[in-house]
Amino acid sequence: MQITSEEKRIQGISFSEIAEKFGTPTYVYDTDVIRNQYRKLKEAFKDINIKIKYAAKALTNQAILKVLLKEGSGIDVVSLQEVELALKAGYKPSEIMFTPNGVSFYEIEKAVEYGVVVNIDNLPTLQKFGARYGSSYNCCVRINPHVKAGGNEKIMTGHRESKFGISIEQVNELYQTVHEYNIQVAGVHVHTGSDIKNIDAFIETMQSLFEVAKNFKNLSFLDFGSGFKVAYSDDDVATDIYELGKKLSEEVKEFINVYGRQLEIWIEPGKFLVSECGYLLVKAELIKPTPACCFVFVNSGLNHLIRPMMYGAYHKITNVTNPKGIPTLYNVVGYICETDTFAGNIYIAEVREGDLLIIHNAGAYGFSMSSNYNSRFRPAEVMIHEKKPYLIRRRETIEDLLRNQIDVDL
């Protein structure tokens, strides 16, 4: 495979080299980007006692979890399985924040057995927790501040109709439950969604959290969630993380001064840390001109990256093999037997059969939301770390599809 001098590289390694060694479709992650994003957050919030808890659901591969652990990150998880993955990656129970949503109380009991921080987002579960543990095990409570913030409505979690959190209109019931069972509340949590462009929305949410937090006298932390937006295109808006850090820090210092004791401030970035590190490397299998448009079919689909079809998300696509080709209008589509569009009406350097394409900003909610729809295999994952490529998940085979099926003799 010929590698051109213009070809995009990750830590000196070309996508053509990656494709030749590992095949396609393949997710590729640049750990330099992850580490730089983590350090940017630490710098932006340096004036307060910040604790970063990576939102693992964005990308749960053990290798990625270990990279962030080595940087000093804690972790935010939303299922028992993610709890166990975090423990296997080496996180201490005290570094793990477990924030489930509407789960069986069994999961809460198991989380307590593991010794992780339990974040409770509804009154019925809080009542069960109080009856079961009383003051013997600290917890965190998640508030729904009724603030509409974020991008697509599907990723907003803090508005009045959201299923997440204890409604701000139910705080008196919250206080009553905590008092009745002598529950020890160690933290108050809020998260309003993803892709928040307006810093003022963070501040508004923060004020709601402060109003609740002041009624708990023995807190050790406040958790502001995340929702920091990254740019998906050259002209896209991203959260100004340094401006946010400055404003949030000022508000936090003022609250702590009134509250009367030092508090840790937790944030839970997922997309911000891993979105821009990731690429989905695919191959153009077919160029199909039609009277309406010209389709580029690639050897992947919504089973590998569902965000464009689920959220209408934009992902930049570039031609690795022919970067200087004439810009041509295409619809880039997948091989799934559904409407399966990665991007419509976009200009890409002329694509020919066999060309390698990269779909950008695919690190967050790419592989983690993948499936075996149409009985397609999930792709390989490759991590570029300190200028070396590592296979961190092999490509699936037919044996993987059949592993848990039971052959019934009919």
- For residue 158, report the phi and psi dihedrals to the nearest 5 degrees: -115, 15
Neighbours of 98 (CB within 10 A): 28
Helix (H/G/I), strand (E/B), else coil: 336: coil
Q: Using the structure block, give the residue that is written with the tokens 């599907």.
A: 154
Which two tokens mark 353? 């059969």
Instruction: Give all strands (DSSP E) within 168-238, no chain letters.
Output: 185-190, 221-223
Which two tokens mark 252? 């936090």
Cα(109)–Cα(90) distance, integer angstroms: 21
Amino acid making up residue 335? Y
Cα(30)–Cα(387) distance, integer angstroms: 9
Cα(71)–Cα(315) distance, integer angstroms: 28
CB of 285 within 8 A of CB of 353?
Answer: yes
Cα(332)–Cα(339) distance, integer angstroms: 11
Cα angle value 351/362/358 (rounded, 5°): 20
Amino acid making up residue 318? T
Residue 139 is a catalytic residue: no
* Pick from 52, 145, 49, 48: nearest CA to 91: 52
Q: Which residues make Cβ contacts (< 8 Å) with residue 101, sequence separation at least 6?
A: 78, 121, 163, 164
Strand 294-298 and strand 278-289: pairing? antiparallel
Which two tokens mark 307? 């965000």
Residues recognised as catalytic: 337
